[in-house]
Amino acid sequence: MEEQLRGDYMSIKFIEDKGCFHLKTKNTSYIIGLFKGKYLVHGYWGGKINDPNTDEMVIYEDFNSFSPNPDIEDKTYSLDTLNQEYGFYGKSDYRNPAIEVEYENGSRITELYYESHSIVGKKVGLRALPSAYAVEGDRVSTLRIDLRDPVESLLVSLYYCVYEDYDIITRFVEVKNKSCGKIKLNNVSSLCMDFEENEFEFIQLVGSWVREREIVRQPVGRGTHIIESKRGASSHHKNPFVALARRNTDEFQGQVYGFNLLYSGSFRSLIEVNAYNQMRFTMGLNPFNFSWNLFPGEVFESPEVVMAYSQEGLNGMSRLLHSFYKERLIRGEYKDRERPILMNNWEATYFDFDEEKIISLAKEGADLGIELFVLDDGWFGKRNSDKASLGDWIVNREKLSSGIEGLAHRINSLGMKFGIWVEPEMVSPDSDLYRSHPDWCIHVPNRTKSEGRNQLILDLSRREICNYILEKLTNLFESANIEYVKWDMNRSMTDVYSIGLSSEDQRQMEHRYYLGLYGILEELTKRFPRILFESCCGGGGRFDPAMLFYMPQTWTSDNTDAISRLSIQYGTSLAYPQAAMGAHVSIIPNHQTGRVTDLKIRGDVAMSANFGYELDLTKLSQGEKEEIREQIRWYKANRKLIQYGEFYRLKSPFHGNETAWMITDRDKTEFILYYYRVLKTPNMPRRRLRLKYLDSGREYIDTYTKRKYYGDVLMNLGIVIPHFPGDFKSHVIHFKAKE
């Protein structure tokens, strides 16, 4: 277990006389009790408590005669109604367990009793999975609690990493086989948390390709809710994020608990309410097609979960997650560095281009002030459509006569950085790689292979295939001055089977795939620290914190329509910062929706995240080019605030015709207000928009009109939104505090 040393501040205490652990952040307390000296119980998580009393926190009476008692000498309690910290199966708890184990004798019964604990003033990391980190001076501590099965010699270690200044706790689990026989893990949740009642609504981010991360909010009620992906990726359809909010919670006030899994594959979050309105929440790997054979002495680690509690509504929760991800998850040279304005040739050319066409686009971009040119799909092998050549990472000289090195040099000579698109996890059946190694893809022998977008997935659970990808990409990235890489992955998993694994180990395949992928990404980011990597999965199909650990930004969606992007970017911001979102201005009619919007609103939406263009600049009018030139000038002047400021949602596109958000600096001396209206409503009076999160006593100046407003006026009275003729309009105002 890798330990990341940081500071000597201890935010975790074991209060022996009360039999409890008290985990403290700046504004919260998390309390774990020891019941009967052996059961780990969940006592409390919420606003800060100075002196916990576990007698008041744990209700344990046996009020259900149909819940058996695990202790025949003590009939006062049953595990069926005890609020536990990591539920197990078979000893009177009938709720979904956090862990499911099968032993050599066929038994699936588990007992997990407290054995010991340790507290260290540092962040403990994971061996092979991405995890949050700490830096010198952080007030961070880690609690490890060891639970042991007294019969089967199973050791389950629960890790709690407490970031005092960030109001964040992370959790993961380590399972060790200390017996002499094999143990099969069929489910290992990264966390389990029991609540006394179910007066909550749960919030999830759902959708599909080009319609990612719609906010869906539902009452918890009775029964079981499952938020999951079984697609071999965190997916467009469900995001590995869940919030539990009190019913009166909105964007600006109320209690909310946020959970985000650092994992890019299939996951499951489960909310279960029993007959007594007690609620259990679990999150981790999806057990649907998972099991892991653990031999004597071996250890299995679960992905890490980031947890954030706020009493200041959904914006408060998001602010905690955004700050934590920007400062203690994202790594590398671009962690705090301003991201370049880019242009991508995809919607300008698709597969139909040659070197001179690319250079003509780059020249237009350079003249307008764009800083990075990204060569998208179609530059390699015989890739003239999406039907061939994935896996053949050799430049097509018929298209690019100078090769990648020569093209990069020509683009650099224009004053622009050069970037390139790859999809290295995939292989086309019509490719030299597939013809040489038809058994390298994920498939079941003797079955017809299921294709998606005319491609198959390479089996990254096999070391030789990972080594091949590392070699090919290293050769490519060393061949030219490449400073940006868009890493795509354009299909979900099917035929999940590896010929490199035994029949006993086939349900390990997907998790081993991601261990292989993370190993590749770790090595490549070390070899090429100057490259800005952007993750893509058909747009936002793998927008998760695990990918942010390796790649500081993600292509938010293949849907570039400004109106669609209002809801996509709004929903994404519930968990992820704007610095992680790629957003581009594209052509009209939009290629995904056919919608026609003016250049202003397209720019105003994209200029609230990582900004770029994806259209044929050579076909624009002089007036359009001048407007783009002004957008680029404005964005460059305000880029640091936009990318690294604090993002707050004001009006939701899911609840009406208007959307608004704002980005402030940390000290509230400067902010940008973004307002968008979709459809024109006739004969309506002017509307006021009330702002939030300002310094009430400060005087702010509209940098364009020079009008002055005090913060309390902007927040209580609001600002009048001007009349706009027509549909699809936007208004952006930059304010600075009076010096």
Each domain of the chain, given as residue ranges in start order, spans: 3-328, 342-426+465-490+528-637, 651-737
User: In the annotation, is 430 catalytic?
Assistant: no
| CB burial readout 602-632, b (16+ within 10 A) else e | bbbbbbbbbbbbbbbbeebeeeeeebbeebb
Report the C-alpha gap between 413 and 406 in whole angstroms: 11
651-737, what's its fold? Answer: Immunoglobulin-like (2.60.40)
Q: Which of 614, 599, 607 has the alpha carbon at shortest distance from 361?
A: 614
| % pLDDT > 90, the chain | 91
pLDDT computed for residue 513 by the predictor: 98
Residue 4 has a pLDDT of 42
Q: Which residues pair with 532 in a beta bridge?
A: 484
From the candidates 194, 558, 561, 604, which is the catalytic residue?
Answer: 558
Mean pLDDT of the chain: 95
Residue among 657, 732, 724 at smallest CA distance from 686? 724
pLDDT at residue 546 tops 50: yes
pLDDT (mean) for 416-438: 98
Alpha carbons within 13 A on the beta-carbon side of 72: 0
Whether 55 is a known active-site residue: answer: no
What's the pLDDT score for residue 6? 41
- Per-residue model confidence as pLDDT tens digits over 240-253: 999 999 999 999 99
Q: What is the mean pLDDT of residues 336-345?
A: 97
Banded model confidence at residue 579, pLDDT cuts 50, 70, 90: very high
Query: Can you give the pLDDT at residue 8?
Result: 44
Tokens coding 260: 């985000």
User: ω before 287 within 30° of 0 (cis)?
Assistant: no
Report the CATH fold assignment for 342-426+465-490+528-637.
Answer: TIM Barrel (3.20.20)
> How do 417-422 and 211-219 pair as beta strands?
unpaired
Q: Which residues contact 235 (CB under 8 A, 6 or more apart)?
A: 229, 492, 541, 542
- Could you tell me the pLDDT band of residue 55, with boundaries at 50, 70 and 90? low
Q: What is the 3-state secondary structure (H, E, C) of 562-611?
A: HHHHHHHHHHHCCCCCHHHEEEEEECCCCCCCCCCCCHHHHHHHHCCCEE
**Distance in angstroms (rounded) separating the CA atoms of residues 531 and 513:** 24
Catalytic entry in 80, 138, 149, 488: 488
State the pLDDT at residue 1.
Answer: 37
| pLDDT tens, residue by residue, 502-530 | 999 999 999 999 999 999 999 999 999 99
Per the structure block, which two tokens stand in for 40? 């780990």
Predicted pLDDT at 25: 97
Please state the pTM of the whole predicted model.
0.96
432-474 tens-digit pLDDT? 999 999 999 999 999 999 999 999 999 999 999 999 999 999 9
Alpha helix (H) ranges present in 218-260? Answer: none
From CA 434, how far away is CA 442, in angstroms rounded?
A: 12
Percent of the chain with pLDDT over 70: 97
* Rounded-to-integer distance, Cα 357 and Cα 352, Å: 9
Helix (H, G, I), strand (E, B) or coil at 549: helix
Other CB atoms within a 10 A radius of the CB of residue 396 amount to 18
Write down the pLDDT at residue 67: 76
User: Residue 6: CB partners within 8 Å, gap ≥ 6?
Assistant: 121, 122, 123, 134, 135, 136, 137, 138, 140
Q: What is the pLDDT of residue 266?
A: 98
Q: pLDDT tens digits, residue range 69-79? A: 888 788 778 89
Are 210 and 564 in contact by the 8 Å Cβ rule? The answer is yes
CATH class of the 3-328 domain in this structure: mainly beta
The pLDDT value given to residue 173? 98
